[in-house]
Structure 1
Amino acid sequence: MADTAHRALRLLSLLGSGRRWSLRELAARLGVSERTVRRDVETLRRLDYPINTVHGPDGGYRLGGGHTLPPLLFDNDQALAVAVALQTAPSTMFGLGDDAARALATIHQVLPPSLRASMESLRLTRLRNYWEFPAPPLDPAALTAVGAAVRHRHVLTTEILRPDGTRPAPGDHDFRPARRLEPHHLVVWAGRWYVVAYDLADDEWRVHRVDGLHVRPTTQPFTDRALPGDDLAHFVMSTHDRGDTLAAWPYSGSARLALPAHIVARWAPSGSVVEHLDAEHCRLTLGAWSWAGIAGILATFDTELADLEPSQLVHACHQLAHRLADTDRLHTNDPRVSGMP
């Protein structure tokens, strides 16, 4: 009886993934005969689980709508996956740390002892990486509103917030009228949430930070549009005016680069700001743990630098140049390199 119950829960867990399973696949996963799978399906149906039969050569079984699977139906592998996902979520999606911790605690309470033990066996200690750039806390209501608008293809009315999260008032120098956007994609990149949308006022594609918008949902539908270049990742990464703000670092500076803004935006570290100057130049503002760190990052772009600010950054670039020149001199004078006996 225990084996039958465990197998039924495993079957329900597989069907709960949302995909269609053939009879052969289910039998292989459960390690039983196809006849046993049919019997277990009927058992679950008698318990009011809406398991639909899909007929035809590609048929099989699929869990129907109208039923919510409680967390206690996780198997061991799913319990471990949930534990890892919720414990590592704050490292990649800043602003959701408290929510992820509460979700993990809630799931932990309702799991049976065997699955609870599986989750407890994987308690992680996350160490902060200095290249993590914490973003401001994300409003779950805003994220839900944008996600729903993307899913249902509904126009959003939005206002651009100040960096501190407040809304500019009419008459303020940074006030901009509300925009109407067609949100096509919700994207997570470098620990930040972005919405890729078509701006109806400018007739242009835009990328906006979700935490930088005050959104008001509408029920006005829109139809899909083709992305510029048809490459979502490239479009997001190469858009320089996506609402990024400078991350908190001990030191920060800027320089004028002889490269287009879309090139620098794609390769600049997260937490930096790229300003378009003209078709061939942009200004990059970034931070690091030292002035030498900023100078080193700027050097990776392999282009001319000008208008460096502040003076400490100029001095750090000169020091870096001297160090590299000394390295080249020492390398040239090395007998093993020069061929001297």
Structure 2
Amino acid sequence: MTSDMTARVLRLLSLLQTRREWAGADLAERLDVTVRTVRRDIDRLRELGYPVDSARGHAGGYRLTSGTDLPPLLLDDEEAIAIAVALRSAAGGLTGIEETALRALAKLEQVLPRRLRGQVTAVQTSLAGITWEERGPRADPALLATLAVACRDHEIITFDYTTRRNPANRRRAEPCHLVDSGGLWYLVAHDTDKDDWRLFRLDRISDAVPTGRRVPPRPVPGDDPAAFVASRLSAAPTRHRAVATVHASADHVRARTRGLASRLTPIDEHTCRLDASDDHLPRIAQTLAGLDSDYTLDADTDPETIDHLRTTAHRTLRALS
């Protein structure tokens, strides 16, 4: 009896989500119950936090309205697929909502039926987009979802990690936060073997496996994951050195150099110093070209960087002439 009532209330909720307003008699007919039973089920939905408005009289009816909190939603197969694909796309490239999208995706994929997971993967792999600006290696959305769940549940994970100098080796860590910096994703985690905080680039992580062991949440040094990532990145060595004195305010340059805020030093109101060092020479040229301001390269910029910038400038001049 209870299961029948639960199924009927869920069916009622699904109907209310498909139309702006329902007459009580129409709902009763759809559910094969009396109008009085519909009224009782509406009251049950209200007790569960669903804001259902009603109008009395012959032309009265019921409608689901907005409330102060978001109650659980019922999705059909097509709606669930559309939302999962949209969340995966957001996690891959829309600035400012990536981690929120990942948390939502983790919740959805946890309850998504197996038959729908295959459809989501098929749709995602069939879609193509145009990338106008290459910001570096992209992380695998499936890996992002796995790590997002581990961060949320404070679950220890193991994975293979490859660095620029060393081949892949197995790591074990307590994941804490995912941070996007200039198009590159980083995992902030506490390395259990080294007993220290570490920063892992997601494009260098493979074969991530949750262990099933959960631990109490561990606060990030400084209680600011983004600041922790920025401080580690600014201290990390790069292959190519490029430091420029820019004849523009720090705010002007900051707005045009995504992910380099920690490498920007104001000199005065109209001048600042930017460390545009990078492992990729074309990215240095792209960063400097995007400043939309005059600049001079400092003496500690390495010769290889200067040669690349000179070659790029000559190529542009030849094209213009």
TM-score norm. by structure 2 comes to 0.48
TM-score norm. by structure 1 comes to 0.46
